[in-house]
């Protein structure tokens, strides 16, 4: 870790961001933590051992080393050992530290505990920065120093929020940059604020019904939406300002773009769909921006050199839907991006001529999320990706034939959490192929065409798989049915979510799936567009004690299966849309006994006014959503429906 830029404390953890923007989570009381670990491992120690001595011996103990010998470690680290979700390290100066092994997951857990909302696609640096700011109740790098707070309070004027420096910056912007910022902020915000039409831009000259350079008119708007301002307490208020902007295609003049670095909280800039054929030269001046989107243009790989100047700040790069293609050497500039976490190269005509480009990608050691989908990568060697120590997500949709060699190469990516292989053809896969080396893989996405009985046999050997999605099964229904028949689904003992959409599932396959006691979400919906989605006749689901969500839409469901479903103790959401329920609605009413049911959708099934009485029992449940709407019916106009709806409203539930 480089010199610390900022940090925050939470319970027994310290979250730190270095000047290189890397995030670490470290335990505060190292000695106490070392003792607790030693106790759990049954390692004897003396109470007077100092932290360095205890840490060194504990590392040896975990690694099975009987004496204090030198072991290979990372740069600046003498030796280390892993325990659970933590890594114990002894530095060259003998100091001991305990850090979180999976920083991103640790940040997510802390975010949940402190009530901070985050997006699943945020990378580690971005998430860590937000967590630190959230804990510290503001950005520690922009807080007013206490010695200046009195001055800030005295200067506060609610009618003139913007500082002189910020206003001079705004006036200095070109028409194109002003227009881009206003449009990125939302046309409706401008029109609501000033009750005037949004400005227009023609040939990079702006036309507006108000004077955009009049401080009395625009000052507060610029301060609130772009620069931030100091409030009456002397604190910087940046709660509503833009953190990302997009250049619209009517902007052609990028001159002065470096002035955007004045916006200290601006993180992302998009040049998506602006008809450019190369990376704009001006981009190299934006050394504070961490996220760039160049998608949907005509950029070629031989113009990527401009990105090299962003080596110390670029974390997210989207180059999807361009014309990169090129050779392996054209991708050399990407190797300089030492902070890059997320890289999207999808839909770029990358093919045979670029063989070896994955060697270049493998040099971006900070990479966590890589998208190579919709290219032509057959014949490429994927083994270099195993050298990416932080790679968590890999998207290979519609780009490469699934073979034994591919799966073996990918299984060497030891930290990989999510893999998307959907849309790819399957070549010969050995029936006894063992994928147990995929120890970190949690999520796998496939399609019907990507399935074979051999591949399924290999998939069930993935030891810690939690989510498996197989889409588009309906178009390969005959083959899928036989493949599923032979699959030992119950081997997936950690599986929490299984999606087999449109699949033709036999009784035996369903019985095997019903043995996966860890399942929380099961989607077996059929399709009314595919003739003969097989019925759910039997469903012995007693083992599914953790199942919270079940979707059997577009399949006939028998009374016997419905009775079994009604016994699931944890079920919260049940979708039986278009299931052609022709059983007694009195049997449907059995579902009311589900103790945790909060969402029940029966839409698209035939129901008459006379059968409404069977549904009154659902009105007795608190906060239940019940959907029974059928297209073209007139039930809502009937008195019986009005009465039933009133019963639901009385209990705080909802009838649709």
Tens of pLDDT, residues 565-574 = 989 999 999 8
Helix (H, G, I), strand (E, B) or coil at 417: coil
Taking the C-alpha atoms of residue 242 and residue 401, their distance in angstroms, rounded to an integer, is 42
pLDDT above 90 for 264: no
Is the pLDDT confidence value at 375 over 80?
yes
Select, from the ranges 51-65, 114-128, 356-370, 532-546, the one with the highest average predicted confidence (pLDDT). Answer: 356-370
Nearest alpha-carbon partner for 515 in 535, 542, 538: 542
Is pLDDT above 50 for 71?
no
314 contacts: CB under 8 Å, gap ≥ 6 = 289, 290, 292, 307, 337, 339, 340
Supply the pLDDT for residue 606: 74
* Per-residue pLDDT band at 55 (split at 50, 70, 90): confident
- CA 106, CA 100: separation in Å to the nearest integer? 7
30-35: long-range contacts, CB 8 A cutoff, minimum separation 24: 30/55, 30/96, 30/97, 30/98, 33/98, 34/58, 34/88, 34/96, 34/98
Q: Between residues 475 and 278, which one has the greater pLDDT?
A: 278
Across the range 7-29, mean pLDDT stands at: 78
Question: Is the pLDDT reported for residue 142 higher than 80?
Answer: no
> What confidence tier does 201 reach under pLDDT thresholds 50, 70, 90?
very high
The residue among 626 and 359 whose pLDDT is bigger is 359
Give 266 or 643, the one with higher predicted confidence.
266
Residue 531 CB neighbours (<10 A) = 8
User: What pTM was computed for the model?
Assistant: 0.75
344, with CB counted inside 10 A (0-12, 13-18, 19+), is buried
473: number of Cβ within 10 Å: 28
User: What per-residue confidence (pLDDT) applies to 140?
Assistant: 37
Over residues 391-411, the mean pLDDT reads 93
Q: Which of 102 and 380 is assigned the larger pLDDT?
A: 380
Q: Percent of the chain, pLDDT > 70?
A: 87
Flag whether pLDDT at 79 surpasses 90.
no
Domain range list for the chain? 4-135, 146-245, 520-656
Give 578's pLDDT tier (boundaries 50, 70, 90): confident
With a CB cutoff of 8 Å and minimum separation 6, the contacts of 324 are 299, 300, 301, 304, 330, 345, 348, 349, 350
CATH class of 520-656: alpha beta
- Work out the mean pLDDT of the chain and round it to a whole number: 84
Mean pLDDT, residues 75-81:
77
Q: What is the DSSP letter of 221?
A: H
**What angle (nearest 5°) sits at the alpha carbon of residue 440, between those of residues 438 and 441?**
65
- Top-ranked range on mean pLDDT: pick from 142-151, 155-164, 394-403: 394-403
Rg (CA), the chain: 29
User: Which pLDDT does position 245 carry in this prediction?
Assistant: 94
Place of tokens 């909302």: 117
Q: How far is CA 55 from CA 15, 65, 96, 457, 569, in A?
A: 21, 13, 6, 44, 46
Span 469-519, pLDDT tens digits: 988 765 565 566 667 778 898 999 999 999 987 777 778 888 899 999 999
Any long-range contacts for 371-374 (C-beta under 8 Å, 24+ apart)? 371/320, 371/343, 371/344, 371/345, 371/346, 371/395, 372/345, 372/346, 372/396, 372/399, 373/346, 373/347, 373/397, 373/398, 373/399, 373/420, 374/346, 374/347, 374/348, 374/398, 374/399
624-643 mean pLDDT? 70
pLDDT average, residue stretch 403-421: 93
As a whole number, mean pLDDT of residues 235-258 equals 90
pLDDT score at 143: 39
Confidence band for 151, pLDDT divided at 50, 70 and 90: low
């Amino acid at each position: 870790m480089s010199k610390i830029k900022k940090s925050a404390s939470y319970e027994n953890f310290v979250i730190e961001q270095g000047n290189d923007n890397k995030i670490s989570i470290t335990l505060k009381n190292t000695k106490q933590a070392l003792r607790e670990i030693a106790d759990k491992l049954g390692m004897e120690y003396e109470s007077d051992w100092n932290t360095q001595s205890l840490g060194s011996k504990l590392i040896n103990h975990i690694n099975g080393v009987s004496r204090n010998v030198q072991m290979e470690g990372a740069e600046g680290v003498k030796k280390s050992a892993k325990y659970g979700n933590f890594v114990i390290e002894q530095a060259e100066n003998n100091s001991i530290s305990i850090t979180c092994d999976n920083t991103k997951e640790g940040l997510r857990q802390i975010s949940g505990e402190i009530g901070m909302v985050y997006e699943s696609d945020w990378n580690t640096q971005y998430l860590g920065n937000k967590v630190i700011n959230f804990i510290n109740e503001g950005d520690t790098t922009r807080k007013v120093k206490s010695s200046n707070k009195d001055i800030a309070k005295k200067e506060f004027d609610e009618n003139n929020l913007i500082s002189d420096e910020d206003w001079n910056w705004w006036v200095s912007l070109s028409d194109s940059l002003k227009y881009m910022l206003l449009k990125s902020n939302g046309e409706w915000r401008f029109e609501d604020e000033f009750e005037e039409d949004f400005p227009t831009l023609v040939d990079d000259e702006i036309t507006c019904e108000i004077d955009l350079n009049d401080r009395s008119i625009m000052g507060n708007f610029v301060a609130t939406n772009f620069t931030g301002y100091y409030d009456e307490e002397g604190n910087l208020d940046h709660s509503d300002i833009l953190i990302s902007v997009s250049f619209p295609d009517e902007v052609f003049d990028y001159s002065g773009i470096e002035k955007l670095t004045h916006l200290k909280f601006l993180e992302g800039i998009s040049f998506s769909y602006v008809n450019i054929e190369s990376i704009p030269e001006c981009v190299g001046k934006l050394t504070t921006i961490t996220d760039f989107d160049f998608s949907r243009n005509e950029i070629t790989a031989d113009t990527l050199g401009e990105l090299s100047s962003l080596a110390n700040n670029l974390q997210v790069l989207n180059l999807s839907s361009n014309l990169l293609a090129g050779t392996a050497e054209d991708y050399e500039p990407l190797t300089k991006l030492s902070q890059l976490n997320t890289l999207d190269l999808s839909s770029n005509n990358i093919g045979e001529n670029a063989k070896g480009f994955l060697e270049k990608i493998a040099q971006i050691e900070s990479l966590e999320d890589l998208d190579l989908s919709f290219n032509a990568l057959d014949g490429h060697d994927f083994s270099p990706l195993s050298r990416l120590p932080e790679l968590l997500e890999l998207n290979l949709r519609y780009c490469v034939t699934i073979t034994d060699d591919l799966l073996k190469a990918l299984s060497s990516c030891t930290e990989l959490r999510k893999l998307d292989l959907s849309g790819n053809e399957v070549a010969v896969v050995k029936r006894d192929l063992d994928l147990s080396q995929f120890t970190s893989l949690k999520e796998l996405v496939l399609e019907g065409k990507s399935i074979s009985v051999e591949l399924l046999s290999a998939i069930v050997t993935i030891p810690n798989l939690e989510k498996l999605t197989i889409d588009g099964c309906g178009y390969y229904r005959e083959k899928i049915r036989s493949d599923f028949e032979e699959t030992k689904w119950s081997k997936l003992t950690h599986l929490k979510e299984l999606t087999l959409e449109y699949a033709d599932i036999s009784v035996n396959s369903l019985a095997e799936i019903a043995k996966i006691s860890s399942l929380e979400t099961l989607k077996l919906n059929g399709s009314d567009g595919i003739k003969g989605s097989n019925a759910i006749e039997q469903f012995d689901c007693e083992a599914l004690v953790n199942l919270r969500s079940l979707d059997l839409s577009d399949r006939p469901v028998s009374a016997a299966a419905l009775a079994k479903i009604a016994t699931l103790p944890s079920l919260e959401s049940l979708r039986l849309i278009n299931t052609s329920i022709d059983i007694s609605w009195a049997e449907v009413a059995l579902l009311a006994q589900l103790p945790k049911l909060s969402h029940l959708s029966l839409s698209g099934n035939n129901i008459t006014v006379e059968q409404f009485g069977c549904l009154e029992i659902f009105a007795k449940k608190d906060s239940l959503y019940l959907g029974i709407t059928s297209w073209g019916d007139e039930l809502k106009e009937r008195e019986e429906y009005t009465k039933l709806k009133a019963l639901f409203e009385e209990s705080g539930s909802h009838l649709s």
